[in-house]
């Protein structure tokens, strides 16, 4: 049954993180709309590579978009087998690695179910019947994506979507481009997913702010260098039914339902933007307790989990670089061990 007519569609707030800059070196600004979001890349130095950055992002979008009929992902989804570009191949491989380390909480094959809920589809938002969800769940299992010799193959009925990792990967690719151009200071903001290259031109760390879920303003700031800071949260895109139940754009691949588990947002910070992006989505799915266990297992990144009972759970590596700016939230540093 479709409730779409009655549903209040809530506009997506731009994602998680705001930038706070302020410096004197020669700044070049690339600002454009791509991948469904407003992007801004500020680079510092003599050479202006803004056009190269925009060209790179548009090329990646052409490969990775799930809705553009010419893209590699679209063709794979509709043809079942496709010799994808190097970027799509690498990102699919890395995303599958992250699926394995998160026990399938990140799962690119959740797309048929995501579409049934009306996300990225022309049907409009709707609450699918349980039997529709359970029949689509037959097509959800990242372990069945076959990737070898630059070709990706999907079983009949399967479709993938790289929306959970594409922006992190794009941030990493922009960094690589800037390194080639000998640019050592840049702030890359892909709709609130931040990658900071080097330090600010004056040598001080970049200051970025983590957004308040559901409201204007921000909850804390972080002082960072050479780091991505990537946030996932249901508040970024969701709809409500006529009874006021909320359904967000992140789907639990175990149930086929939008996640609702007491987490408002997860921010993951680290050197590898693709990993941060994949983990932030996966941790959002897992819930706080399991996310903390996973962090303890790997400890190759930092994180901030904001819960609906007003806690900010923060890994110890952030203690010295975080400033809480919203006193409604209580900061709790996560123990290193159980
Ligand atoms: P992010 O904003 O990085 O957390 O990614 C969310 C996007 O990833 C959604 O808009 C969907 O396109 C897709 N997605 C939703 N749930 C999942 C999931 N469990 N695993 C992988 N991708 C997902
Ligand atoms: Mg993500």
Q: What is the dihedral angle through the alpha carbons of 119, 122, 123, 124, rounded to the nearest 10 degrees? A: 60
How far apart are the CA of 259 and the centre of ligand 1, in A?
11
The CB-side HSE value for 338 (13 A sphere, CA atoms) comes to: 5
**Which ligand lies nearest the alpha carbon of 233?**
1
How far apart are the CA of 167 and the centre of ligand 2, in A?
8
Sign for the CA dihedral angle at 78, 80, 81, 87 comes to positive
Nearest atom in ligand 1 to the alpha carbon of residue 278 is 3
Residue 32, beta-bridge partner list: 39
Q: Which of 214, 152, 262 is nearest to 13 (CA)?
A: 214
pLDDT of residue 8: 32
Cα 55 from Cα 36, distance rounded (Å)? 16
pLDDT of residue 15: 42
Residue at token pair 């990493």: 172
How far apart are the CA of 180 and the centre of ligand 1, in A?
31
pLDDT of residue 25: 72
Residue 246, beta-bridge partner list: 240
pLDDT of residue 230: 98
Cα 288 from Cα 262, distance rounded (Å)? 8
The CB-side HSE value for 284 (13 A sphere, CA atoms) comes to: 30
pLDDT of residue 121: 73
How far apart are the CA of 282 and the centre of ligand 1, in A?
8
Supply the Cα-derived Rg of the chain in whole angstroms. 20
What are the strands of the beta sheet with 302-307, ordered from one edge?
A: 27-34, 37-44, 185-190, 193-197, 227-232, 263-270, 302-307, 311-314, 330-333
pLDDT of residue 120: 83
pLDDT of residue 197: 97
- State residue 237 phi and psi, 5-degree precision: -155, 120
For atom 6 of ligand 1, the residue with the nearest CA is: 164
For atom 8 of ligand 1, the residue with the nearest CA is: 164
**Domain boundaries defined on the chain:** 12-333
Cα 185 from Cα 203, distance rounded (Å)? 9
pLDDT of residue 7: 36
Cα 330 from Cα 333, distance rounded (Å)? 10
Write down the pTM of the prediction: 0.92
Q: Which of 250, 282, 3, 7 is nearest to 114 (CA)?
A: 250
CATH (residue range 12-333): 3.10.520.10
The three-class DSSP label of residue 106 is coil
Residue 277 beta carbon below 6 angstroms from any ligand 1 atom: yes
Structural tokens at position 204? 């001080």
Cα 295 from Cα 314, distance rounded (Å)? 11
Residue 223 beta carbon below 6 angstroms from any ligand 1 atom: no
CB-based burial label for 21 (10 Å; 0-12, 13-18, 19+)? middle
Averaged over successive runs of 10 residues, the pLDDT of the chain (338 residues) comes to 35 43 75 96 96 98 97 98 98 98 98 95 89 98 97 98 98 97 97 95 96 91 98 94 95 98 97 98 98 97 97 97 95 92
**Which ligand lies nearest the alpha carbon of 252?**
1
């Amino acid at each position: 049954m479709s409730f779409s007519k009655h549903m209040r569609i809530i506009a997506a707030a731009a994602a998680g993180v705001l930038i706070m800059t302020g410096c004197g070196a020669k700044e070049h600004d690339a600002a454009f709309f791509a991948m469904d979001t407003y992007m801004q890349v500020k680079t510092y130095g003599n050479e202006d590579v803004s056009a190269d950055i925009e060209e790179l992002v548009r090329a990646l979008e052409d490969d990775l978009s799930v809705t553009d009929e010419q893209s590699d992902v679209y063709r794979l989804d509709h043809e079942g087998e496709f010799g994808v570009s190097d970027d799509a191949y690498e990102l699919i491989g890395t995303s599958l690695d992250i699926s394995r380390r998160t026990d399938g909480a990140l799962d690119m094959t959740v797309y048929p179910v995501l579409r049934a809920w009306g996300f990225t589809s022309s049907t409009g938002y709707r609450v699918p019947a349980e039997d529709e969800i359970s029949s689509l769940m037959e097509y959800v299992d990242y372990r069945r994506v076959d990737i070898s010799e630059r070709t990706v193959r999907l079983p009949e009925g399967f479709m993938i979507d790289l929306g959970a990792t594409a922006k992190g990967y794009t941030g990493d690719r922009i960094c690589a481009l800037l390194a080639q151009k000998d640019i050592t200071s840049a702030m890359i903001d892909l709709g609130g997913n931040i990658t900071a290259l080097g330090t600010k031109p004056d040598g001080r760390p970049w200051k970025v702010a983590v957004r308040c879920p559901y409201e204007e303003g921000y909850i804390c700031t972080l002082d960072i260098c050479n780091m991505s800071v990537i946030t996932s949260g249901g508040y970024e895109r969701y709809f409500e039914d006529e009874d006021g139940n909320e359904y967000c754009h992140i789907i639990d691949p175990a149930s086929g339902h939008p996640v609702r588990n007491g987490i408002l947002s997860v921010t993951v910070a680290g050197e590898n933007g693709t990993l941060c992006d994949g983990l932030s989505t996966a941790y959002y799915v897992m819930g706080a307790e399991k996310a903390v266990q996973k962090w303890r297992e790997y400890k190759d990144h930092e994180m901030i989990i904001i819960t609906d009972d007003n806690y900010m759970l923060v890994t110890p590596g952030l203690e010295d670089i975080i400033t809480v700016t919203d006193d409604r939230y209580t900061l709790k540093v996560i123990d290193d061990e159980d």
